[in-house]
Structure 1
Amino acid sequence: MSVVIVASVLFVVAVAVGGVAAAAMTGRLPRNRWAGVRTPETLASEEAFQLANRVAGPTLAVSALLLVIGGVGALTLGTVGGLGVAALAVVVALVAAAYGGTAGARAAAAAAPAGCGDACGCGSAPDVSDPEAATVSACATESPADAAAAADCGTSSCGACSLKGACLPH
């Protein structure tokens, strides 16, 4: 009886993951906080979210297939062997999904414009010909509040600060 429950759960999760994979690969997965690749870079714009999820979609489809295989294995191999196959399928599906999510997040980060520009209210990069300005963070070029935020970040790029919420518009 426990094998049937495990298999049923795997089938339901496989359908959900497969649905997300299909929506991601076709570009129909809306930007949200629940499904898909959700990093600060991917949630920054609809285009970044779509790109990341198109990259991650095939590995999500593989994950769904692995979960189905685990469910079928659980039903056909009995209690001990079936639960072992189901557990292995879950672990491999998680690894596949994580790989795809990482690849998608990297694709979105690579496609993002360099620096912050006006996207997070940081202004432009400092004039590096001025030695004093060169030591000031690009995030600090607009106001003293931005300077304090950049100092808290310990970084010198608006992209890094925005990941920590330090360069949000005031």
Structure 2
Amino acid sequence: MAMATTLSQILEATISPDQNISGKALQYLQDALKSDLPGFLNVLTIEIANESNTPTVRMAASLFVKNQLAMRDEASRKELHNRWLQVNAQSRKQIKNNLLKTLATPHTIVGRSVAQAVSSIAQAELPNNQWPELIQLLLYNATHSNNNFYLQQATIEALGFICEEIVIFY
């Protein structure tokens, strides 16, 4: 792969049908994550929130964030959750706020992937008595008629993903 020069280009490369290109892009993201988990997750959530990025880039970033906490086997999932919970509270709050603000995006594919990322963080935090305001906030977003349709739709999806995971794992 010709080396991508921006994070947006790297994120775009993660969905390339060429496995060599997508593999190198994913390796770059994994390496960046290993060097600074909270800082890199924050940068990714800024990319997600940036409406000037393509929906594809924003979706790829959202799914990458989600995948840092979501695993189907219990042992891996617990390990990822513990790693997340070791991130300082201020960094976690900033990452979560970036995601929550992005639920209102008019790009439904981005809203759906952000809902998945919110759900994956909720799966790590809610059982550990973290993020207690989340469900109330999501219910408010979903039910208040003054909220835009896209916010309501993505919020309902986030609630659905959270409930689905509770049924599967708890």
Query: Which TM bucket (shorter chain)?
Result: under 0.3
Larger Rg, first or second structure (1 or 2): 1
TM-score, normalization by structure 1 = 0.23
TM-score, normalization by structure 2 = 0.23
Higher helix share: 2
